[in-house]
């Protein structure tokens, strides 16, 4: 672990408070993995012997119990949210049955409390099963060989991959995120199981899968994850239209467009569903409106284009459903692309509520497709003006929704 990396003060305070209350408590999972890799963690998850009710009693109004399938506690400190889970053991088949005629394999409930060691072995991958005690000189507790797997860059399941992925098919997507984010390699048995069980990802609720996809678009390794999922046959069950694009000669251009967004995210770019979803579906919508177009050529306007774009967005995202508000915002971000290309109506365009996110998409297209400066320079001053106005309106910034 890099010595100059320091644990977040809020996480340290929560762990200390729980330990002083007599509960064994550790930093767990991704944060420990990142520390070992010399990366500053973005999120701090904490596990403890305290039940959710006991955590709530200790922290009072700053703590909130959430979830039914997997009950955890969120503790709010300033603008940060810390996730506190209770150590769990693997439930029996009878305990995890949640429906009539259930075979007890897919986990519908997971709230059987256990020891730290039991908790480690019920996690998905060895690289995510490490604990760290910041009150004991950052001691690492490794029950599963995770330290060596991280050093070797291997994604290894804890237990039989077929069983672990059947319990929760989303674990297959998490495996591909490890491949994309850290350049890890799949263990041979893990890769085989994902290829065989990829269709089972559709057993997960559409709402949960869609949230996983949205979270992916907010990370600076979205392009690499989409490519990794495509390579093992998982993407066709997550985003079939994206998978179809990656089977064509336009795959490189599409991934370059997403990679440009990844770079912007790594530099602190605004996060918005309107931008993320418009970015994903741009080429699909472009082909729907202009079937003979080259990537980035845009389209001509016509009567009823608003409805046509909305319908194309819905088809692209099927079987997922988005709210009418988000759908309308994605539509507007896409429709503004023609105004940028035509270089007309600048005053009206820059006053549009979605100007900022439409500009980000246009800029990503320009960068990834290597457009000339003449196409983007006329709009740069407008974006700067919009940003200055936004800063004046937000003198007292608050945490915003990413809708």
Residue 148 has a pLDDT of: 97
Q: Is 90 left (phi over 0), alpha (psi -120 to 50) or beta?
A: beta
Can you point out the beta strands (E) in 87-184? Answer: 130-133, 139-142, 154-155
Residue 110 has a pLDDT of: 57
Residue 150 has a pLDDT of: 97
Instruction: Select which of 43, 133, 231, 243 is catalytic.
Output: 43
Cα separation of 153 and 120, whole Å? 19
Residue 94 has a pLDDT of: 67
C-alpha pair distances (Å), 129 with each of 29, 122, 123, 147: 6, 9, 6, 9
Instruction: Select which of 8, 34, 45, 119 is catalytic.
Output: 45
Residue 395 has a pLDDT of: 42
C-alpha pair distances (Å), 310 with each of 194, 243, 285, 325, 351: 33, 21, 9, 11, 22
Residue written as tokens 């060989």?
145
Peptide bond into 395 cis (omega under 30): no
Please confirm, yes or no, whether 168 is among the known catalytic residues.
no
Residue written as tokens 């910034």?
397
Helix then strand then coil, in percent of the chain rounded to 5, is 55, 10, 35
Beta strand pairing call for 130-133 and 25-28: antiparallel
Please confirm, yes or no, whether 152 is among the known catalytic residues.
no
Return the CATH architecture of domain 1-152: 2-Layer Sandwich (3.30)
Quickly count: other Cβ atoms within 10 Å of residue 75's Cβ: 23
**Mean pLDDT for back-to-back runs of 10 residues, the chain (403 residues):** 72 96 95 93 92 95 87 90 91 59 50 89 94 94 96 96 93 97 97 97 93 92 97 96 97 96 88 91 97 95 94 93 92 94 80 92 93 76 48 40 42
Count Cβ neighbours within 10 Å for each residue of 332-369 and write b for 16 or more, e otherwise: bbbbbbebbbeeeeeeebbebebbbbbbbbbbbbbbbb
Two tokens, residue 374: 């003449």
Please confirm, yes or no, whether 45 is among the known catalytic residues.
yes
Residue 304 has a pLDDT of: 94
Two tokens, residue 231: 């390579």
Cα separation of 125 and 229, whole Å? 17
Q: Percentage of the chain with pLDDT > 90?
A: 71
Number of H helices, E strands in the chain: 20, 9
Beta strand pairing call for 139-142 and 154-155: unpaired
pLDDT, tens digit (0-9, with 9 covering 90-100), for 236-267:
999 999 999 999 999 999 999 999 999 999 98
Domain boundaries, the chain: 1-152, 270-393
Q: What are phi and psi of 99, to 5 degrees?
A: -145, 160
Instruction: Select which of 8, 34, 119, 124 is catalytic.
Output: 124
């Amino acid at each position: 672990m890099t010595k100059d990396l320091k644990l977040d003060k809020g996480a340290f305070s929560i762990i200390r408070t729980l330990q002083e209350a007599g509960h064994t408590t550790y930093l767990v999972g991704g944060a420990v993995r990142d520390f070992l890799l010399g990366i500053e963690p973005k999120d701090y998850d904490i596990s403890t012997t305290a039940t959710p009710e006991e955590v709530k009693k200790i922290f009072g109004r700053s703590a909130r119990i959430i979830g039914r399938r997997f009950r955890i506690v969120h503790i709010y400190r300033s603008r940060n949210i810390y996730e506190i889970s209770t150590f769990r053991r693997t439930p029996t088949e009878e305990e995890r049955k949640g429906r009539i005629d259930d075979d007890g394999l897919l986990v519908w409930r997971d709230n059987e409390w256990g020891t730290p060691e039991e908790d480690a072995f019920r996690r998905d991958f060895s690289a995510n099963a490490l604990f760290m005690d910041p009150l004991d000189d950052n001691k690492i507790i490794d029950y599963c060989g995770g330290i060596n797997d991280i050093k070797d860059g291997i994604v290894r399941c804890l237990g039989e991959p077929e069983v672990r992925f059947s319990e929760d098919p989303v674990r297959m997507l998490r495996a591909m995120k490890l491949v994309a984010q850290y350049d890890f390699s799949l263990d041979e048995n893990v890769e085989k199981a994902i290829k065989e069980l990829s269709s089972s990802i559709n057993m997960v609720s559409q709402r949960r899968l869609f949230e996983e996809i949205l979270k992916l678009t907010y990370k600076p390794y979205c392009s690499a994850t989409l490519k990794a999922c495509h390579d093992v046959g998982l993407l066709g069950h997550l985003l079939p239209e994206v998978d179809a694009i990656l089977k064509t000669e336009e795959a490189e251009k599409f991934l370059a467009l997403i990679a440009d967004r990844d770079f912007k995210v790594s530099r602190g770019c605004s996060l918005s569903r309107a931008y993320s979803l418009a970015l994903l579906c741009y080429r699909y919508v472009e082909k729907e409106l202009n079937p003979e177009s080259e990537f980035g050529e845009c389209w001509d306007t016509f009567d009823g284009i608003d409805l046509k774009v909305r319908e194309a967005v819905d088809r692209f995202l099927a079987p997922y459903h988005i709210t009418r508000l988000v759908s309308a915002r994605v539509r507007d971000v896409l429709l503004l692309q023609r105004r940028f290309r035509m270089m007309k109506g600048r005053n009206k365009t820059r006053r549009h509520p979605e100007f900022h996110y439409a500009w980000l998409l246009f800029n990503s297209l320009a960068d990834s497709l290597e457009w000339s400066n003449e196409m983007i320079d006329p709009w740069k001053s407008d974006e700067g003006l919009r940003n200055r106005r936004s800063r004046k309106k937000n003198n007292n910034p608050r945490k915003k929704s990413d809708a």
